[in-house]
Structure 1
């Protein structure tokens, strides 16, 4: 890293962007194990009773969401020797990998004992990986002070988030099949979790070693005879709840994941009942095309950002409105399935914008909080980025459940006349409303232009230099 008196910049921007994006990609691939296979493991491999499976899923989801409120507290109060954020890139992956493998392992013939181990492993692994995820989100703030470089890092982080399902879908089944062949069909899920956990470890450790020297360590403070750092937890909490730019951005992040994962969760019903016929057989291909669409869209985000003269908020809002438009059209027109899928895929190109821009906007919110509070609170602010993701996922579950209950859904129902329109609304109209609400609110409330953020960052740098 290069640190001048004027501004800290990346020494090798292209290389560091790739390392940063790969770290996020491999982490996101690991989380796909849970997204696609956790329920299947509980029912088809661990062979737990359905009621017990429901309890496990409910308990883990609720506890995981509640703990997300405290990630910032842990990150702010726990001091490790390699830097406040960088340390967790080293520490979190090996612990998470072991616990993650236990999540996909039935350790006892006793169902209660087996379920207890799975629940504990789930909660602890998610707690530690959430701290690590908050840290990797924060790393871009300590890697560079240049706003353009932070925007590039944000784009690459988004690409990592968008490319994970494409790669995971290609490698997951072969890995599980190979391990099942070695273990008589018993450890396929656990083996996949282990492999993905090790890849996650490689990605985070690569970033850890690539960012050597970019963050102050305990040795640096001892050498400089600096006093032990005091916790900024109080000012951090106050700065978070008084930062309207942060609050609206958190809402929009929750909206992004709510509509994305909501569409994933309702896609089966949309293809089965709204399209009908044999279209459900094409759902797997469509999932892959959605991943490709977002990845392709991310390639054009830098050009759009340049066209918008570096205005990240404008790109962010264009993304929301683009998704809304191309979800609303197939809802209103109700065209042939092929036309509907093409329109939705065009929308995924716009969907890359919120995923690519959210971190850059969030970083600007952290700069604002640090500038206003006069304290180094960016770690706490960045750690809160985990919470809206989990909130969006939770809200998604309530929305889908409400629709299913509202229409009295049953897989064996004789009368399904109400299903096609209902599931078309769930899959297309609900995301439209969510995206419009997010775009409008961010446009009305968020007021942090790049020039203002640059001025605040310069003032922070000057404050540090004078300290």
Structure 2
């Protein structure tokens, strides 16, 4: 079946994959360090941080699908989606720097500053990331190559994970430590993010093409939203993916607290991050093969299931010897990359399902639903960590009570377990199997042939 579909060139796929670097640099940086930076460096109360994360996501509930619809209905010589990436990338880069800048302000003005910067950052991320993800089904119609493209994107995401989780703290110290170190690191990440997205837009140039002679389709909010909420596989994927992100966001937001207050071993942060990272790299080249063999639905379900095991071990033995910690986190890094990567590979299937059922694709709108769940899971994960720690009496930079340490352990290991259990339930109802997708593609191909014959 795959030989029937046109494929993108390797060079264009490689250039497009740089979007995975730009997207994940900002995403992993904010998920891993922003809560810690705001409480321990900038001096913001953890309850304020929790409220900020939730309010920003409420705004995203409107702006993400809006950006998806805007992208789908954009008509320009640069294409539908590329103009937004090109214009939005430098804005996003500047805001990444501002997120990790701690100006000398009064306590009230600090709150005003973080609200203004974080919400604006979230909007800039929407402008860039939704068009970026929308390009995947545009670049290639081949089902197998789409999985390969996602593997390349996530491979670049692994580079971002290295730069953030392993290199962040050493580079912050190299740049002077404290507020100065974080600000300089923010400059570096902002510049690399901008350039990465520009390279990504370059890779999509040949494929994101608008025929300016074809009349513009009429806009209908009801018809557009139907592509998501009338699309059962998309709804199930949104829930499963969102709860997986929630699991990882809680895990990441509590990470620094775990090493600093529970283990008193900040030196282990880059070492454990290295184990997770390099174990995850192994997943990338074998993911397309496993997806073709087992089917994406089954592989996603198994990946979520087995991600629970190493988390559960550490939940019950949080102060286990270093070798146990390293081995469990390496196992988690390998297994958890499967559902994390597969969600994006399954997204084009849901786009095709919408076209098959309703006669309209909505690449941008449907992509926006997954990016929204990505940010929603990240925000709720970070907000829950801030909220829960405040409730049990967390005070920065002092020895913590047993109640606080127990909460940190639960947030880092127990909460992710619950997130993966929720994704298992949702993915059970995802109905696009390999056989179902073959049927969908065959019927879409027949329709297209009939349209061409009628012209």
TM-score class, shorter? 0.7 to 0.9
Seen in structure 2, the aligned counterparts of structure 1 residues 40 and 392 have a Cα distance that, compared at 3 Å, is closer
Which 10-residue stretch deviates more, 28-37 or 360-369? 28-37
Seen in structure 2, the aligned counterparts of structure 1 residues 345 and 41 have a Cα distance that, compared at 3 Å, is closer
- 2:118 paired with 1:87: no
Query: Which one of the candidate residues 308, 329, 351 is aligned to 1:366?
Result: 351
The aligned residue for residue 59 of structure 2 is 66
In the TM superposition, what is the alpha-carbon distance from 1:83 to its structure 2 partner? Answer: 1.8
User: For residues 356 and 102 of structure 1, what CA distance do their matches in structure 2 show?
Assistant: 29
The aligned residue for residue 379 of structure 1 is 364
User: For residues 34 and 400 of structure 2, what CA distance do their matches in structure 1 show?
Assistant: 31
Query: Which one of the candidate residues 299, 312, 323 is aligned to 1:328?
Result: 312
In the TM superposition, what is the alpha-carbon distance from 1:135 to its structure 2 partner? Answer: 1.2
The aligned residue for residue 68 of structure 2 is 75
User: For residues 302 and 286 of structure 1, what CA distance do their matches in structure 2 show?
Assistant: 27
User: For residues 231 and 97 of structure 2, what CA distance do their matches in structure 1 show?
Assistant: 39
Query: Which one of the candidate residues 230, 241, 246 is aligned to 1:253?
Result: 241
Q: Residue by residue, what CA displacement relative to the aligned partner does 1:352-389 show, whole Å, maximum 9, x if unpaired?
A: 11122111112211211122121232211111111111
The aligned residue for residue 268 of structure 2 is 282
Map of 1:256-335 to 2, 5 A cutoff? 256-268=244-256, 270=258, 281-308=267-294, 311-331=295-315
In the TM superposition, what is the alpha-carbon distance from 1:16 to its structure 2 partner? Answer: 3.2
User: For residues 261 and 114 of structure 2, what CA distance do their matches in structure 1 show?
Assistant: 35
Query: Which one of the candidate residues 195, 198, 206 is aligned to 2:199?
Result: 206
The aligned residue for residue 128 of structure 1 is 124
Query: Which one of the candidate residues 428, 451, 467 is aligned to 2:438?
Result: 451
In the TM superposition, what is the alpha-carbon distance from 1:249 to its structure 2 partner? Answer: 0.5
In the TM superposition, what is the alpha-carbon distance from 1:197 to its structure 2 partner? Answer: 2.1
Which 10-residue stretch deviates more, 102-111 or 341-350? 102-111
Between the two structures, name the one with larger relative contact order (CA 8 Å, sep ≥ 6).
2
The aligned residue for residue 421 of structure 2 is 436
User: For residues 150 and 163 of structure 2, what CA distance do their matches in structure 1 show?
Assistant: 20
Which 10-residue stretch deviates more, 227-236 or 366-375? 227-236
Contact 2:49 2:383 survives alignment (8 Å): no
Seen in structure 2, the aligned counterparts of structure 1 residues 395 and 33 have a Cα distance that, compared at 3 Å, is closer
User: For residues 330 and 110 of structure 1, what CA distance do their matches in structure 2 show?
Assistant: 41
Q: Residue by residue, what CA displacement relative to the aligned partner does 1:302-338 show, whole Å, maximum 9, x if unpaired?
A: 3423442xx1112211211111233334556889433
Query: Which one of the candidate residues 339, 351, 354 is aligned to 2:324?
Result: 339
The aligned residue for residue 8 of structure 1 is 6
Q: Residue by residue, what CA displacement relative to the aligned partner does 1:209-246 show, whole Å, maximum 9, x if unpaired?
A: 222221223xx31xxx3223432532120221121111
Map of 1:230-245 to 2, 5 A cutoff? 230-245=218-233
Query: Which one of the candidate residues 330, 337, 342 is aligned to 1:357?
Result: 342
Q: Residue by residue, what CA displacement relative to the aligned partner does 1:170-191 show, whole Å, maximum 9, x if unpaired?
A: 554565566659xxx9754444
User: For residues 40 and 362 of structure 1, what CA distance do their matches in structure 2 show?
Assistant: 32
User: For residues 75 and 109 of structure 2, what CA distance do their matches in structure 1 show?
Assistant: 34
The higher radius of gyration belongs to 1
Does the residue aligned with 1:384 lie in a helix, a strand or coil?
helix
User: For residues 271 and 356 of structure 1, what CA distance do their matches in structure 2 show?
Assistant: 27
Seen in structure 2, the aligned counterparts of structure 1 residues 280 and 180 have a Cα distance that, compared at 3 Å, is closer
Q: Residue by residue, what CA displacement relative to the aligned partner does 1:31-74 show, whole Å, maximum 9, x if unpaired?
A: 444345545665677x6x645x8546633541244224332223
- 2:26 paired with 1:26: no
Contact 1:89 1:204 survives alignment (8 Å): yes
Seen in structure 2, the aligned counterparts of structure 1 residues 421 and 361 have a Cα distance that, compared at 3 Å, is same
Does the residue aligned with 1:392 lie in a helix, a strand or coil?
helix
Q: Residue by residue, what CA displacement relative to the aligned partner does 1:84-140 show, whole Å, maximum 9, x if unpaired?
A: 222222111022223333444467866666654553333223212223111111101
Contact 2:16 2:204 survives alignment (8 Å): no
The aligned residue for residue 185 of structure 2 is 192
User: For residues 140 and 305 of structure 2, what CA distance do their matches in structure 1 show?
Assistant: 31
Contact 1:76 1:232 survives alignment (8 Å): no
In the TM superposition, what is the alpha-carbon distance from 1:148 to its structure 2 partner? Answer: 0.8
In the TM superposition, what is the alpha-carbon distance from 1:161 to its structure 2 partner? Answer: 2.8
How many residue pairs get aligned? The number is 445
Contact 1:65 1:390 survives alignment (8 Å): no
Contact 1:102 1:118 survives alignment (8 Å): no
User: For residues 177 and 410 of structure 1, what CA distance do their matches in structure 2 show?
Assistant: 24
